[in-house]
């Protein structure tokens, strides 16, 4: 199993890396953004396995993005590794603070509370004119251990960096999902009471899931900020969080790679519908989402599992 996993991880990386050579500039950027957003959605999938949906992952996406921007702007740090680590660290701390609190709630209460937290951040940032208010802030291009690429080289480096992060994060999450804790999460989805009676603490497991989601959200936000060169409070707005949830639902909770495929598909559909139907692109996007939900109620991941005929 472990060997298989490692092989898949290497395979996935080779595939993603091939994109760096094959993809045209615009598609590489689109994929880098989609993968960054996929990381955030992966965090939601971790919670979805336990039957919880966070409508507030924008909190960590935004927190990560602003941490990177402020550190880069105020302290002059431009190293992408350092920025990612710092943002992930900040999100880890904040996630660890809110995690145990939110882990006590289920269903709509969990969703609404997480949403409320992200909207508090949104409101605060929108009011803070020193941080650019609703117009946001710019962040310069990142460096890689002192290397300062430009143009296509920068895009390629950024894309490969995201690809590495995605493969590492995906592999780690898979290992976690298959671990004892991860399986308890899955069992919680079916019957929380029974899990508690068997002696496991659902609250602890959910806290872990939440914190992992927070860290992934922060990393995704950092990458997005660096790729875009701009952050604004919209990162924490509920529509942004809703998009992450949508990718998670599109992917389903069964497969990790499906999350990233779903993220890329969503970006592609949006980009092309925006171009070909400038006046009705929301309608095109909506119809696409409806079709997916109707045809694949368990998400893209169910395509794989259905064929394998096993229902882990």
Determine if 307 is a binding residue for another protein (CB under 8 A). yes
Q: HSE (CB half, 13 Å, CA atoms) of 264?
A: 16
Under a CB-based contact definition with an 8 Å cutoff, are residues 218 and 60 in contact? yes
Contact flag: residue 1 with another protein (CB under 8 A): yes
Least distance in angstroms from the C-beta of 107 to another protein: 28
Find out whether 251 and 261 touch, Cβ atoms under 8 Å: yes
Q: How far is CA 134 from CA 114, 228, 231, 240, in A?
A: 21, 16, 10, 15
* Contact criterion met (CB below 8 Å) for 187 and 195: yes
- Residue 265 binds to another protein (criterion: CB under 8 A): yes
CB nearer to another protein: give 91 or 261. 261
Nearer to another protein, 56 or 136 (CB): 136
Binding segment for another protein among 38-46, 77-85, 197-205, 225-233 (CB under 8 A)?
Answer: 225-233
To another protein, the closest distance from the beta carbon of 283 in angstroms equals 10
Residue whose C-alpha is closest to residue 202's, from 183, 179, 178, 216: 183
Distance (Å, whole) CA 125 – CA 255: 35
Contact flag: residue 264 with another protein (CB under 8 A):
yes
Q: How far is the CB of 180 from another protein (least distance, A)?
A: 19
Report the alpha-carbon distance of residue 16 to residue 20 in Å, rounded: 7
Beta bridge partners of 189: none
- When asked if residue 133 is in the footprint of another protein (CB under 8 A), the reply is yes
Please report whether residue 308 would count as binding another protein according to CB under 8 A: yes
User: Counting contacts by CB under 8 A, is residue 197 touching another protein?
Assistant: no
Binding mask 16-35 for another protein (x = CB under 8 A): x-xx--xxxxxx-xx--x--
Exposure b/e, 171-197, CB count within 10 A at least 16 = b: bebbebbeeeebebbbbbeeebeebee
Long-range contacts from 174-179, C-beta under 8 angstroms, 24+ separation = 174/5, 174/256, 175/5, 176/46, 176/212, 177/46, 177/49, 177/256, 178/1
266 binds another protein (CB under 8 A): no
User: Is residue 15 within the footprint of another protein (CB under 8 A)?
Assistant: yes
Does position 142 interact with another protein (CB under 8 A)? The reply is no
Residues that bind another protein in the complex, under the rule CB under 8 A: 1, 4-5, 7-8, 11-12, 15-16, 18-19, 22-27, 29-30, 33, 126-127, 129, 132-136, 138, 140-141, 150-151, 154, 174, 224, 228-230, 232, 234-235, 237, 240, 255-258, 260-261, 264-265, 267-268, 270-272, 274-275, 278-279, 281-282, 303-304, 307-308
């Amino acid at each position: 199993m472990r060997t298989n996993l490692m092989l898949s991880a290497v395979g996935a990386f080779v595939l993603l890396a091939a994109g760096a050579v094959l993809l045209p500039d615009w598609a590489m950027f689109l994929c880098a953004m989609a993968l960054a957003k996929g990381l955030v959605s992966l965090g939601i999938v971790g919670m979805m396995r336990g039957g919880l949906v966070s409508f507030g992952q924008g909190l960590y996406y935004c927190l990560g993005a602003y941490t990177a921007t402020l550190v880069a702007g105020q302290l002059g740090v431009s190293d992408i590794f350092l920025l990612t680590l710092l943002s992930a660290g900040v999100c880890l701390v904040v996630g660890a603070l809110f995690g145990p609190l939110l882990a006590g709630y289920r269903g709509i209460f969990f969703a609404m509370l997480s949403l409320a937290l992200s909207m508090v951040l949104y409101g605060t940032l929108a009011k803070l004119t020193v941080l650019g208010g609703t117009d946001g802030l710019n962040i310069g291009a990142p460096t890689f251990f002192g290397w300062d690429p430009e143009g296509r080289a920068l895009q390629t480096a950024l894309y490969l960096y995201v690809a590495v992060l995605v493969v590492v994060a995906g592999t780690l999450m898979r290992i976690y999902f298959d671990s004892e804790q991860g399986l308890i999460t899955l069992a919680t989805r079916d019957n929380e009471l029974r899990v508690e009676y068997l002696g496991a603490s659902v609250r602890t497991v959910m806290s872990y899931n939440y914190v992992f989601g927070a860290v992934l959200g922060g990393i995704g936000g950092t990458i997005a900020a660096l790729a875009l060169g701009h952050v604004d409070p919209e990162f924490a707005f509920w529509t942004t969080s809703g998009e992450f949830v949508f990718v998670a639902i599109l992917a389903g909770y069964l497969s990790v790679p499906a999350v990233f495929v779903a993220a890329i598909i969503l970006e592609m559909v949006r980009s092309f519908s925006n171009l070909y139907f400038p006046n009705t692109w929301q309608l095109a996007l909506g119809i696409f989402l409806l079709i997916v939900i109707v045809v694949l109620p368990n998400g893209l991941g169910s395509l794989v599992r259905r064929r394998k005929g096993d229902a882990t």
